[in-house]
Structure 1
Amino acid sequence: MKKVVVVTGAGAGVGRACVEEFARHGYDVALLSRDPERLERSARGIEANYGVRALAIPTDVADAAAVDQAAARAEQVLGPIDVWVNVAMATVFAPVSELAPEEVERGTKVTYLGQVHGMMAALSRMRVRNRGTIVNVGSALGYRSVPLQSVYCGAKFAIRGFTDSLRSEMQHDRLNVHLTLVDLPAINTPQFDWALNKMAHRARPVAPIYQPEVAARAIYFAATHRRREIWVGFSTVKAILANRIAPALIDRYLARSGYRGQLTEEPVATAAPSNLFEPVPGDFTAHGRFDGQARSRSWEMFTNRHRTAFWALAAIGLAGMVKILSSRPR
């Protein structure tokens, strides 16, 4: 019997790449997202390309009841859920002074509460069977916030806090359900074309940029290996560690460069699309418009996959250096 994965935000971006990655490994897939037509096209393409079952379930993850109903539908059609992946997000590019309360609320509901609703729907079913894996998708911005993305950063910080609380509770209850968090760097997705943008110029990810398949491979790895947390991309590692060492210095650096690093020279179109409150129609895929700048590999992800061998080689190298240094004449 094939394993079953549920992926939220599956219509485009990292979620769409995750659907491909799990299907490639033989999983039947339930796709959750808001746009019914794009979701259905994605599901039919997955079935044709990989020979697995794919179930499109149009769902707004901000609606807890809808998420629970989607979980029930997935199990009814595909079978017990083995893996649940929380990817869905929505954001606004704007300084806090330009945000409306309803925009903050909506972005938080989708990005933060969407993952909470997914965790709760998945756990209520996995608890009964005492097995399964929940993968939450975090970000380097869940450790180090940047200007113009307060809604997204706040939600990613909250996801990390909720995840840590739930993990401790699951350990207390001795559940054989694995909960993991995958923190991503800047990813080349349609987010930068359809996120609500109140700035004068088009948004862009802060370099270095990675392809969504890098994120999808990391998420699949997290779902099939017992890692508490995975940092993807050396830029993620640097952001997290630098903020721990010198947060005030990073504050000042981002005050100077945080705006221009997230904006291109291209003006925003007068009728630019926004997916905050309604899905943007169209045949979007996993990739955004930055294919020419995006990396297809992550050194940090490689070391995480092969951490035993990596640290063994590092230890051998260090021992060799010590031996050479100690043998030098004094």
Structure 2
Amino acid sequence: MKKLSEQVMVITGATSGIGLTTARMAAEAGAKLVLAARSADALHQLADELAARGAEALAVPTDVGERAEVEKLGQAAIDRFGRVDSWVNNAGVSIFGRHEDVTDEDRQRLFQTNFWGVVHGSLEALRRMKRDGGALINLGSEVSDRAVPLQGIYSASKHAVKGFTDSLRMEIEKDQVPISVTLIKPAAIDTMLIAHAKNYLRHEPRLPPPLYAPEVVASAILHATQHPQRDVYVGGAAKMIAVGSFHMPRLFDHYMKATMFKQQESDRPAPPDRHDTLHAADSLELRQRLGATYSRVHERSPYTAVALRSGPLTTALLFGGAALAAWKLLARPPR
């Protein structure tokens, strides 16, 4: 797999949060970038910013939920740079609310972006990288393994992303196609997810602690573009939740019921004119982080750093300590 400085990288959801952070870090490392998001103005603003720093970046306004637009994205990468070396399916949005309150229209729109966007992007990436190889990086979540209440349809979409990614990986390996397929599973990340989410709750939503910085996820993504990885848990808390839910699902059901309703709803009333980006992008501001004030944001994850570079035994030993620390963080009462 090529060094970042030799890569052409496609990034969806590139104008906010994890996608924006990844784009800036990849540009700093010398990668050539093909940037996709729904907002043309924000995309061109980002491309101009990176060009001013000496990077090569192509802005391609794209709704990943539309297969034809994703095909145009892949063609634009070929037309400009002649190839694709890595493809990052990052675009996503959330909904906060009980299942019985969320409309069919909103559920379908979320799946169109979160799930079908990954499907469209993965198949286009396979088409463009099948001959010469590369890395396909899909963004799942800790809720790919453990559903949470009040973000039920988001959890369902991330479960679907995991199932699709795992099955696609096996098909690619069966055909001996030289493409590494990685599923990134972040814990709660301090991005614009909350600000962009559709909200059905009476109060403003928030993410349960512990929170990690988007730079931690971006570092894991960029590592996976250069070193084959199957799954990457970003944050020891994500790994702890996954392992605990697998071995003790009913216990974790009770834990979620006892904590996740309070931890995902703040005490600030939701304004009646609250904006979201579920159906359309409406923000021109490039922001990597929301700047959460209700919880400490962890700027690094020792568990993830070691897991990416170590064997299974070292990772298992580190996980023991990370799990204990994460459990203590999760057990703190919400403020």
- Deviations for 1:92-118, whole angstroms, at most 9, x for unmatched residues? 111001011111111011001101100
Secondary structure at the counterpart of residue 307 of structure 1: coil
Q: Which residue of 1 aligns with 2:168?
A: 166
Report whether the alignment pairs 1:96 with 2:96: no
Does the 8 Å contact 1:61/1:110 carry over to 2? Answer: yes
Q: Deviations over 1:46-100 (max 9, x none)?
A: 1212x11111111000001100111101211123010000000022111001011
Question: Alignment partner of 2:208: what SS?
Answer: coil
Residue aligning to 1:69: 72
Structure 2 match to 1:141: 143
Equivalent position SS for 1:282: coil
Q: Tell me, what secondary structure is at the counterpart of 2:140?
A: strand
Q: Is the counterpart of residue 212 in structure 1 residue 203 in structure 2?
A: no
CA contact (8 A) 1:194 1:272 kept: no
- Give the AA of the match of 2:125: A
Among candidates 179, 182, 185, match of residue 180 of structure 1? 182
Relative to structure 1, is the Cα distance of residues 285 and 209 closer, same or farther in structure 2, using a 3 angstrom cutoff? same
3-state SS, counterpart of residue 225 of structure 2: helix
Relative to the length of structure 1, the TM-score reads: 0.91
Amino acid at match of 1:93: F
* 1:40 equivalent in structure 2: 44
**Following the alignment from structure 1 to structure 2, what is the Cα–Cα distance between the partners of residues 115 and 139?**
13
Deviation at 1:313, TM superposition (A): 12
Residues 236-289 of structure 1: CA deviation (Å, up to 9, x unaligned): 011101101111111122122211111111111221111011112231311113
Q: TM-score, normalised by structure 2?
A: 0.90
Q: Report the secondary structure of 2:291's partner residue.
A: coil
1:199-255 Cα distance to aligned partner (Å, 9 max, x none): 011111110101111110011111111111111101101110110111111112212
User: 2:203·2:267 contact (CA, 8 Å) conserved in 1?
Assistant: yes
Provide the rounded CA distance (Å) in 2 between the counterparts of 1:54 and 1:223.
18
Distance (whole Å) between structure 1 residues aligned to residue 82 and residue 169 of structure 2: 25
Tell whether the 8 Å contact from 1:303 to 1:310 is kept in structure 2 after alignment.
Answer: no
Distance 1:309 1:256, change over 3 A: closer
2:32 match: 28
Q: Give me the whole-angstrom Cα distance separating, in 1, the residues matched to 2:103 and 2:222.
A: 36
Residues 279-308 of structure 1 show CA distances to partners (whole Å, capped at 9, x for unaligned) of 122313111131772111011111123314
| Distance (Å, rounded) in 1 between the aligned partners of 2:316 and 2:90 | 34
**In 2: Cα distance, 1:280 partner to 1:299 partner:** 36
Partner of 1:320: none
1:160 aligns to what SS in structure 2? helix
Q: Structure 1 residues 196-205 or 252-261, which shifts more?
A: 252-261
Whether 2:10 is the aligned partner of 1:6: answer yes
Q: 1:267 to 1:25 in 2, by over 3 A?
A: same
- In structure 1, the partner of 2:301 is 298
Return closer, same or farther for 1:251/1:48 CA change in 2, 3 Å cut-off: same
Whole-angstrom CA distance in 1 between matches of 2:269 and 2:314: 47
- Which runs of no fewer than 5 residues in structure 1 stay unpaired? 316-330
Contact 1:53 1:78 in 2 (8 A): no
Residues 7 and 30, structure 1, Cα contact 8 Å, conserved in 2: yes
- DSSP-derived class of the 1:275 partner: coil
> For residues 316 and 100 of structure 2, what CA distance do their matches in structure 1 show?
51
State the distance in 2 between where 1:265 and 1:203 align. Answer: 9
Larger-gyration structure (1/2): 1
Q: 2:119 maps to what in 1?
A: 116
SS at 1:258 equivalent: helix
| Deviation digits for residues 21-60 of structure 1 (CA, Å, limit 9, x no counterpart) | 21121101111000111111111111212x1111111100
* Structure 2 letter corresponding to 1:136: N
Q: Provide runs of 4+ in structure 1 moved above 2 Å.
A: 308-315
Unaligned runs of 5+ in 2: 319-335
- Mark the CA change 1:257 to 1:80 in structure 2 (over 3 Å): closer, same or farther: same
Report if the CA contact (8 A) 2:185-2:232 is conserved: yes
Q: Distance in 1 between matches of 2:217 and 2:198?
A: 23
State the SS of the aligned residue for 1:157. Answer: helix
Is the contact made by 1:189 and 1:288 (CA closer than 8 Å) also made in structure 2? yes
Q: Pick which of 290-299 and 156-165 moved more.
A: 290-299
| Percent of paired sites with the same residue | 30
Q: What is the one-letter code of the residue matched to 1:37? A: D
Distance 1:312-1:52 versus aligned 2 partners, 3 A rule: closer
Structure 2 residue matching 1:224: 3-state secondary structure: coil
Question: How many pairs are equivalent?
Answer: 313
